Structure 1
């Protein structure tokens, strides 16, 4: 796998990285708190799984009208997104628990969504989190069909209208992952990435195919067997569920990376990026709001994206506590801490960024960063 090396001779960046790690570590030590989850995570797991599974069970076991069924599949979509953001995400990062097997179980909830944990860990944990907002290295902002998310990708005429159609297309994200996982895994196998992760290409393919078949068999087979709904009604319900989950999850992720004030730099010709890794994460991510309450609980603390990217091994239930530490340290060392006041301002910022990216090539973020590095 092609990699970027982070190297910096900037003393301020090095000192900041050491100090912010130290202060966060001291917070947990002084308060005798584990960096992992606690009973709150187990309660959330129960609620999110219930939000996803309970409506499905009701659909299968009691007579229900089409309108009531519509409400059930929307709830399932909300639950699906909640599982992905609040349970699977922490488990895949090893932050859910101090016990590896518990993290594996939490990460495996992705199978309930028809997706593949192996692909996720490569694309998200390794590629996105290491090379955040770097075009051609971070798959989350690299070429995305008709949506342009990077200053460095090719500008097409239709991108001029992407701020109008992108949010609808976000709804297809989970469907694309569901049916695109096989192609992604084959690509990893072909490039030798699967072997680099010390896994068997054949075994991973068999696991992926088996879980897809089981998921589709359950999500389509049980309703066809146990209910009076026709296939087209079941398919429509499935599509609505996936669209609901896709719009929620993709919009949340975009509000943390593709907004005003987040950088999209490139490494030099030798794939060397002359910035400390923690400083890069600080510049490439953005928080939105500090008092989101129930929303923050539901989205797994992803409104604290700076904290998540700088300390991926810390469970999201601690983000609100360490955010002031990170923000204060950043300002002390003269670095900008990206924070949108609330969800609506972050959503508006993403909308404006989409419009900007769709109208002209804009390398301002890279140019500003290059000037700072000099």
Structure 2
């Protein structure tokens, strides 16, 4: 049986797989007037997710429904926030909504509703995560400052033996961390790495923009409710509830794609050459619940992470159709296509992996 390393270094197979896959996907996207960009389904969903976020906010702001609706509103906004992140922001910041960059930028700016920052997200996600998927030390999605061990090559700490229990609660802090801490530290770090220059900007310019956007966000979602008469402690708690729900959903969905036992977790140097990038995406990514249309709609197609990683500039509305092509092509070339039939099955696999990574390695 071929190992992951064997599959990576088979350059002839890598090249043939990439060529066949690209030819078939492009043929599908070019038939019957299709395009790789979004269609009406994306825009309708964008309106729905925006409503799920803004309608409860304004109802709460003007005391409609009193105290009960105040708390319900923050909960609905949490799901609206995660919905915007997965269904609207994600496609737009990959440039897959439209050929017109101003439209991508408009919808991509919905990132600010998640308390995040477009530039740092694009560097971490588009540049580092997509180019170096699951590569320790390069894919920053695996970086947790020691709170969790998400890769066999990561340093083990005693506290990690409980991470299968406390990990999901850490996930809920994702967007709260964005509010005041992560984006500022990333701007400073990416400047040292020379990435800001690559993106044609400067650290001073980004700090000014970032400070303004964060102040505006805090003013709207904390300041306005207080000004409208809600107690500061209630507003603060509601704000935390909203962010915890959004962070929990967003983190869990992305972890189910890469932090599961069956996918590859590379520790050596990156294999290069024709098709190597495509094979790396295939080996380090897993799908789940592909036959569940409700879940696919709700998660912005991110249960089809294999297709997203292979074709990040294609809108998520096309992923279910592309999945059939990708799976068939992978099997023809003797390559694995990792998937879980149900979401709960994927959740169980992720928790099992967290538990395994929490055990003390023999060499530790």
Please confirm whether the aligned pair reaches a TM-score higher than 0.5, indicating the same fold: yes
- In structure 2, how many angstroms separate the alpha carbons of the residues matched to 1:233 and 1:348? 35
Paired residue secondary structure (1:361):
coil
Match of 1:166 in 2: 167
The equivalent position to 1:184 in structure 2, one of 183, 186, 197, is: 186
- In structure 1, how many angstroms separate the alpha carbons of the residues matched to 2:192 and 2:164? 35
Answer whether contact 1:143 1:153 (CA < 8 A) is retained.
no
Q: How far apart are 1:42 and its partner, in Å?
A: 0.8
Match of 1:325 in 2: 325
Answer whether contact 2:63 2:70 (CA < 8 A) is retained.
no
Match of 2:199 in 1: 197
- In structure 2, how many angstroms separate the alpha carbons of the residues matched to 1:74 and 1:30? 42
Q: How far apart are 1:143 and its partner, in Å?
A: 4.2
Match of 2:48 in 1: 47
- In structure 2, how many angstroms separate the alpha carbons of the residues matched to 1:9 and 1:198? 37
Give the alignment of 1:95-244 within 5 angstroms.
95-179=96-180, 180-227=182-229, 229-244=230-245
- In structure 2, how many angstroms separate the alpha carbons of the residues matched to 1:113 and 1:146? 22
Runs of 4+ residues deviating >2 angstroms: 62-68, 142-145, 271-275, 360-363
Match of 1:22 in 2: 23
- In structure 1, how many angstroms separate the alpha carbons of the residues matched to 2:336 and 2:48? 37
Q: How far apart are 1:9 and its partner, in Å?
A: 6.1
Match of 2:296 in 1: 296
What is the TM-score with the length of structure 1 in the denominator? 0.91
- In structure 2, how many angstroms separate the alpha carbons of the residues matched to 1:266 and 1:260? 15
- In structure 2, how many angstroms separate the alpha carbons of the residues matched to 1:73 and 1:25? 42
- In structure 2, how many angstroms separate the alpha carbons of the residues matched to 1:121 and 1:35? 20
- In structure 1, how many angstroms separate the alpha carbons of the residues matched to 2:355 and 2:76? 31
> Any stretches of 5+ residues in structure 1 without a counterpart?
1-6, 364-374
- In structure 2, how many angstroms separate the alpha carbons of the residues matched to 1:63 and 1:50? 16
CA spacing shift, 1:273–1:143, aligned 2, 3 Å: farther
- In structure 2, how many angstroms separate the alpha carbons of the residues matched to 1:273 and 1:140? 22
Q: How far apart are 1:187 and its partner, in Å?
A: 1.4
Q: How far apart are 1:295 and its partner, in Å?
A: 1.9
- In structure 2, how many angstroms separate the alpha carbons of the residues matched to 1:226 and 1:109? 24
- In structure 1, how many angstroms separate the alpha carbons of the residues matched to 2:91 and 2:126? 11
Q: How far apart are 1:69 and its partner, in Å?
A: 1.4
- In structure 1, how many angstroms separate the alpha carbons of the residues matched to 2:139 and 2:362? 18
- In structure 2, how many angstroms separate the alpha carbons of the residues matched to 1:267 and 1:108? 36
Match of 1:277 in 2: 277
- In structure 2, how many angstroms separate the alpha carbons of the residues matched to 1:211 and 1:121? 17
Paired residue secondary structure (2:19):
helix
Match of 1:371 in 2: none
- The reply to whether residue 59 of structure 1 matches residue 68 of structure 2 is no
CA spacing shift, 1:217–1:181, aligned 2, 3 Å: same
Paired residue secondary structure (1:259):
coil
Match of 2:94 in 1: 93
- In structure 1, how many angstroms separate the alpha carbons of the residues matched to 2:154 and 2:321? 37
What is the TM-score with the length of structure 2 in the denominator? 0.94
Count of matched residue pairs? 354
Answer whether contact 1:266 1:273 (CA < 8 A) is retained.
no
- In structure 2, how many angstroms separate the alpha carbons of the residues matched to 1:273 and 1:18? 16
Paired residue secondary structure (1:140):
helix
Deviations 1:209-251 (A, max 9, x none): 1000000011111101113x21111000000000000000000
Match of 2:5 in 1: none
> Any stretches of 5+ residues in structure 2 without a counterpart?
1-7
Q: Which moved more, 1:240-249 or 1:109-118?
A: 109-118
Q: Which moved more, 1:92-101 or 1:303-312?
A: 92-101
- In structure 1, how many angstroms separate the alpha carbons of the residues matched to 2:68 and 2:354? 35
